[in-house]
Structure 1
Amino acid sequence: MQLNTLLSVIGGVLAVSTPSSATIIAPKGDTGLTPAQHSILQKRFDSYYASNNANANKVRGITLGGWLVTEPYITPTLYNYATQLMANSTHNTKRYNVFNSSIIDEYTMCQALGYETAENILAQHYDGWINETDFQQIAEDGFNLVRIPVGYWAWKQNHSTNAYPEGITFKDPYVGEGLQLRYLNKAIAWAEKYGLNVWLDLHGAPGSQNGFDNSGQRNFYDDLDWLRDGTGTWNLTLAIWRSMFDEYLNSSSAIVGVEVMNEPLSTKIDIWDITQAYYDAWRLFSARENRTANTTFVIHDAFEGTGHWNLEFNPKYTNVSAPHGVGFNSSSYPLRDSHQVLVDHHHYEVFTDWQLANTQYGRLMDIVNFGDSIAEQELQYHPAVVGEWSGAITDCAHWLNGVGVGARYDGSYYKTTEYTTDDKPVGTCYSQNPISQWNDTYKRDVRQFIEAQLATYTAQTTGWIFWNWKTETAYEWDYTQLKKAGLFPVPLDNYTYFGSDGKMLADVSASLSSEAYPYTSTKGSSSGSGTNTKTKTKSTKSHNGAAGIVRRGSTAGLDANAPFYSQTLSFVTVALLGGLIAAQLL
């Protein structure tokens, strides 16, 4: 292949990819965009938000977070009450003090209060936070699945002897002895009654799988014990999986998915060890699964990029699974099709400085790109659900980043942790106020952000699960409050900023692009970027340190700022150049 032939092919790609004037949708008013930029933007929305007949079978889920695994930002009243009880007790609290607070997670709550007191307040919480009426309302609002997080400590058998299944002894302060499982069984029965599917989620591992308080035990800075040699956490995890599968895998037709571990953090636990753990869990799962059942084995992406798991759990690529001791032809744990394993992605736009500094346009384009990357790079290998997302466009919710920890948005995060940044605060925290105090622009942005995710994840993935059903005061994360304020569509496809076909309305697209591409000169030239300068100036600390970890999230698969045709051209150019080099070598 000659060089001039290669260039002519690239020219053909440009001719095809560059929008023609006939497709331009005229915006309302002057937005500072060139006709080509308008066309690119509209084509992106037209292609990514198209509805299809398969949408009726997509996962439309909600998570009952903060119930059987408590989280301080979801129920701060519970943690304030526990702290007051501890202050009134005779416990020595000095060794628990972190960031001027002695109770920072469920682990330290149980440790500080002692078993009986902790058991009493947790039982009251389980009994009052979620009940049958919640399941009835979830079904009436159009959801078809409930995700229920539960910690490994739910299988603790005796707190005095620290006994766990299979004769394993593991010392921790957690309340267990079947308490959470009794409420889990109630939840499954309620789901059956109201026609809801259930996704069981092992949300906390012994020794913590990520160091977040949502694992039960917060640990920002030190090594994590899960899967570490000599800690006993691996044998206990295997025993928990066996017990969980034995009890629930074939117990109810409502249980359609089991997630074997929520959010293992591959920047703190080696991805090889996480992968091996997943394969070992698959062995146990497949050996116990009723082959006629409809229960899906679910793995979290471990904060690896889209497509990372494509060749894993894939019988077409046994050379990939072989190092982990797995052969899918075995009758003990056959894998007939890679689509038996589902990948769970969690995507948020608030846990890095550059995301928080994004424009509304850039934020929505991140969602578009993320959905596109799943559709194009992953679905041919595994089904994929965006199993956590929210309406949050700031990280200002009280204790969202941890008890005693501030927000990146206003800079207080870096005054209450050991992390640093070169970026300036984005602004003053505002969203932690009741929704009734939000201004119209902020309400509009949250509603658009929610609709964009609903439309994208419905059209581009196997489905979605919103986080969370309810909170006390974290309003951007609270479906019930967002719905009440008219910021979450009811029915779920009752869009304000999108048409009934799932496409973003032309005037909305033009308005957003006007905000993202303001005039920068009297000639009306655009800035050429969907984000402001802060999104491009990312501190080294934010990317290499834990401060840059996107908690419960992953970055978008494509550059939100690059025009669609330039992305296509770059991919094609690389492929063609690779082919040319190979041809010359041969």
Structure 2
Amino acid sequence: MSLQPNTPYHPVDTGDGHLDDHLVVQPGVYTDNPSPTTGRHQDSPFNPDGYNADGIPEEDIARPRFLGHAAGAGTRGSFASSFGVPSFNDNDNSSSVYALNPLGASRDSTAGYSSVPYQDDPHDSDLAAGAVSPSRRSRYLEEKRGAYVPPNKSKRRIIIGAIAIGVIIAAIAIVVALYFTVIKKNGKTSSGTGGSDGGNNNNNHNGNNNTTSNNIVKSGGDGSTIKLEDGTEMTYSNKFGGTWYWDPADPFNNNAQAQSWTPPLNQSFKWGQDRIFGVNLGGWLVPEPFIVPSLFEKYLNNPTPAVDEWTLSQAMAADTANGGLNQLEDHYKTFITEKDFAEIAGAGLNFLRIPIPWWAIEVQGNEPFLPRVSWKYFLKAIQWARKYGLRINLDLHAVPGSQNGWNHSGRLGETNFLRGPMGYANAQRTLDYIRIIAEFISQPQYKDVVVMFGVLNEPRGSPLIGSAQLDGFYKIVYDTIREASGLGEGKGPVISFHEGFQGLGHYTGFMQNADRIALDWHPYICFGQQSSSPISSYATRPCTDWGKTINDSLANFGMTTAGEFSNAVTDCGLWLNNVNEGARYDGTYSSGGPWPSQGSCTPWTDWQNWDQTMKDGIKQFAMASMDALQNWFFWTWKIGQSIRSGKIESPAWSYQLGLEQGWMPKDPRQAVGVCGNTDPWTPPLKPWQTGGTGAGLNVQSDGLQWPPISITNGGPLSSLPSYTPTGTVITLPVPTFTQPSGSNVKIDVGSGWANPSDTRGMYVSIQGCSYLDPWIGPNATPPPVCGGGPTKRAYPPPPIITQRT
């Protein structure tokens, strides 16, 4: 892949009254396209009188341009959020940006993109939007009649009468002036409430607020004042045309928009065309030692130190003097708050990947976790994401038995998911939890916010679990989710499968025709061979290591995202490799190796003393990563402070800290073109990957079998414990909202279950059968088999009437 220097781009005025169709390489920053008449942007619908919220006539408004980079050889194409002709009517449900490249147009790797004209200017003749309704200006007041002076009145009374009439006329004139210069300009005469399926999207990008009739502010843009859920206020900072929206009487309203180039929630996100600029909320609902070291440091000197959430929960439960296990809820309340969501949208990010554990649903046996409480905070995440126009990729990060044996799976140690004597039973439980989550997020109240479901984080495929076993599990997961959601665009989430450390190429041709599936890849440099080379030496490594891999996967499989990556090029950082574990870089890591020391980790963690050269090098690496990966989720938004040192000890992993200190780009679009990829994958995706024709029909699943014939370290399934699907189904709790005074609108929060025909029971123990501890390890001897062994499931399942709680 040829590389070009990183050059920021902005459109150039060619002197004809609007910006050139082809963006020209210029040093500087991204610039929106102003109206040729007014120099203003139009991001709000027009009022009935033909004016927008700023009092500007409709015909004088230019829609904002997508901020792509320049055309020309060696540059990389931007993803537009929609194709086709924009509409200027008030009920416009098309995307907020226009296509940059014609559908199906090819890009010559020699000529770059110069042969493909951009199509994002509403003044272009080939983008005529049809008839625009004529402006209808409000009437001005008629001239007042002269005062009538009856006969026989004194001159003094005539003068007094004339003065009174003059005062009245002056007062009317002031009211008229205020109406047209303040009230109408600020858009405070009315505000549409809209709804989850669209509606009157009164976005205002000039910092002005929309209000309800009872003067409750419910929408605003950059510079507006937001009342947060906790009652405090903050000033919203979003320089990218984003608007927040929150109406207590209409809590499922989807009018909010994260940025002008990202479709609002009441419009479809166009996979493969719109870009995912995302960040993980790691360490929040699944605490990890290196992300929130303060939680674990309290129990470092225990006879059994807290090294994962299992041992942390045990230590907290015994610590009744400090709140016991409820300390975890204190962490949920404070580590991530609504303010973080506002800041994430203001940072130019449009997606969140939020890890959750299975104990958000239930615990069984001796599992020590705090059950169901984290789900309460995931519901808050949905509400806050909706308020700021952010979309969510829900990631099931921890499952029974552990899918990888790492601390973020819930318990450090062995892999007992689809491996060992309890591996199949643990997979059955996991299928239940996936089904319960899918039923919840497929409801119409939630589907437009939680648009992606990562079904299993980082399973260790071959050789621990096995390729055939993992791939077969993915097929039954697909069937389970689509049974809950139905088929086609708008019916439940995109289903994201982690590649299981088998390589993206392993999934070429996987489950063709399956409705809206995606691959998840977590490329990291820092956990391999270490080097003492400076950060500047990594400037283009993501381009060469990752760019072609992503392009090939987009072409050969389809939608592919980087669910995790970071700025770390070494494994330096407090407890990055586990509690009380050192680092490969300084030779103190005890696993694998040998790891010859490359020197001290201090230069890589002492961010308070980084000079500008170091910060510039990290920023270059970050932008090269973003460009190479194309659709990404940085790991992670925030790293907490150590209570021992009083500072953040793993700075390369914090997006928030990088923004504050200057080593992350203020605008993620600055990364586009950094790698200079002259032959990227060209959209669109295959129709079935976006819910198009044929999606979900005749899914090609040759070789994918469920249940598997056998599992690793367990042997034939006929000899292993299994559960029976006859238990009572658990449904996840729905949110509660306080009805505003004076409102008689009933708020429908859903039942927690999208498909009432999905009545199969949950997996439970077979009466009289013996089971081992789910965490027994892969080498234990299975108990005697009873119950006839597993049976192949038919789809759709036979109806079983169960009671849901």
TM range (shorter): 0.5 to 0.7
**Cα distance in 2, alignment partners of residues 24 and 244 from structure 1:** 44
Q: Which amino acid aligns with 2:78?
A: N
Native 8 Å contact 1:349 1:363 kept in 2: no
**Cα distance in 1, alignment partners of residues 4 and 427 from structure 2:** 58
- 1:215: which partner in 2? 409
Native 8 Å contact 1:61 1:146 kept in 2: yes
Q: How does 1:278-357 map to 2 (within 5 A)?
A: 278-291=474-487, 292-293=490-491, 295-315=493-513, 335=514, 340-353=516-529
**Cα distance in 2, alignment partners of residues 204 and 485 from structure 1:** 33
- 1:4: which partner in 2? none
**Cα distance in 1, alignment partners of residues 614 and 4 from structure 2:** 29
C-alpha change, 1:475 and 1:359, in structure 2 (3 Å) is closer
Quote how far apart the aligned CAs of 1:441 are.
Answer: 3.7
Counterpart check, 1:397 vs 2:591: no
TM-score (norm 1): 0.64
Native 8 Å contact 1:228 1:234 kept in 2: no
Quote how far apart the aligned CAs of 1:230 are.
Answer: 2.9
Corresponding residue SS for 1:54? coil
**Cα distance in 2, alignment partners of residues 288 and 489 from structure 1:** 40
Unmatched runs of 5 consecutive residues or more in structure 1 = 1-16, 26-45, 88-92, 97-101, 163-169, 316-334, 506-586
State the number of aligned residues: 403
Counterpart check, 1:148 vs 2:354: yes
C-alpha change, 1:433 and 1:52, in structure 2 (3 Å) is closer
Deviation per residue, 1:131-173 (Å, 9 max, x gap): 111111111111111111001111116xxxx3xxxxxxx4321
TM-score (norm 2): 0.47
Native 8 Å contact 2:4 2:675 kept in 1: no
Native 8 Å contact 1:310 1:378 kept in 2: no
Select which of 407, 425, 442 maps to 1:249: 442
Q: Which amino acid aligns with 1:392?
A: A
Native 8 Å contact 2:658 2:664 kept in 1: yes
Quote how far apart the aligned CAs of 1:378 are.
Answer: 3.9
C-alpha change, 1:78 and 1:58, in structure 2 (3 Å) is same
Select which of 453, 471, 478 maps to 1:258: 453
Select which of 103, 111, 114 maps to 2:317: 114
Looking at secondary structure, tell me which structure has more helix per residue.
1
Corresponding residue SS for 2:439? helix
Counterpart check, 1:449 vs 2:621: yes
C-alpha change, 1:438 and 1:126, in structure 2 (3 Å) is same
- 2:752: which partner in 1? none
- 1:80: which partner in 2? 297
Unmatched runs of 5 consecutive residues or more in structure 2 = 6-71, 82-260, 262-273, 641-647, 678-805
Deviation per residue, 1:167-217 (Å, 9 max, x gap): xxx4321111x2010000010011111111011000011111111111121
C-alpha change, 1:392 and 1:49, in structure 2 (3 Å) is farther
Quote how far apart the aligned CAs of 1:114 are.
Answer: 2.8
RCO greater where, 1 or 2, for CA within 8 Å and sep 6 or more?
A: 1
Deviation per residue, 1:199-251 (Å, 9 max, x gap): 100001111111111112112xx453455433531221111112111222224
Native 8 Å contact 1:350 1:356 kept in 2: no
Counterpart check, 1:139 vs 2:342: no
**Cα distance in 2, alignment partners of residues 366 and 355 from structure 1:** 16
Q: How does 1:501-516 map to 2 (within 5 A)?
A: 502=674
**Cα distance in 2, alignment partners of residues 367 and 212 from structure 1:** 29
Corresponding residue SS for 2:540? helix
**Cα distance in 2, alignment partners of residues 24 and 69 from structure 1:** 40
Corresponding residue SS for 2:567? coil
- 2:723: which partner in 1? none
**Cα distance in 2, alignment partners of residues 359 and 183 from structure 1:** 38
**Cα distance in 1, alignment partners of residues 560 and 442 from structure 2:** 21
Quote how far apart the aligned CAs of 1:369 are.
Answer: 3.4
**Cα distance in 2, alignment partners of residues 198 and 454 from structure 1:** 19
Quote how far apart the aligned CAs of 1:118 are.
Answer: 4.7
- 1:239: which partner in 2? 432
- 1:371: which partner in 2? 547
Q: How does 1:26-105 map to 2 (within 5 A)?
A: 50-54=76-80, 57-83=274-300, 87=302, 93=303, 96=304, 102-105=305-308
Counterpart check, 1:468 vs 2:636: yes
Corresponding residue SS for 1:413? coil
- 1:39: which partner in 2? none
**Cα distance in 1, alignment partners of residues 385 and 528 from structure 2:** 36
Select which of 153, 169, 175 maps to 2:370: 175
Native 8 Å contact 1:227 1:234 kept in 2: no
Q: How does 1:151-230 map to 2 (within 5 A)?
A: 151-156=357-362, 162=364, 170-176=365-371, 178-219=372-413, 222-230=414-422
**Cα distance in 2, alignment partners of residues 214 and 455 from structure 1:** 28
Corresponding residue SS for 2:298? helix
Native 8 Å contact 2:547 2:628 kept in 1: yes
Corresponding residue SS for 2:287? coil
Deviation per residue, 1:494-538 (Å, 9 max, x gap): 46xxxx754669xxxxxxxxxxxxxxxxxxxxxxxxxxxxxxxxx
C-alpha change, 1:489 and 1:351, in structure 2 (3 Å) is same
Tell me how large the CA RMSD over aligned residues is.
Answer: 2.8
Corresponding residue SS for 1:67? coil
**Cα distance in 1, alignment partners of residues 536 and 283 from structure 2:** 29
Deviation per residue, 1:281-315 (Å, 9 max, x gap): 11110101143336201001111112211222114
Q: Which amino acid aligns with 2:333?
A: D
Corresponding residue SS for 1:246? helix
**Cα distance in 2, alignment partners of residues 48 and 104 from structure 1:** 48
**Cα distance in 1, alignment partners of residues 503 and 437 from structure 2:** 29
- 1:420: which partner in 2? 593
C-alpha change, 1:228 and 1:379, in structure 2 (3 Å) is farther
C-alpha change, 1:350 and 1:77, in structure 2 (3 Å) is same
Corresponding residue SS for 2:277? strand
**Cα distance in 2, alignment partners of residues 244 and 24 from structure 1:** 44
Native 8 Å contact 1:349 1:355 kept in 2: no
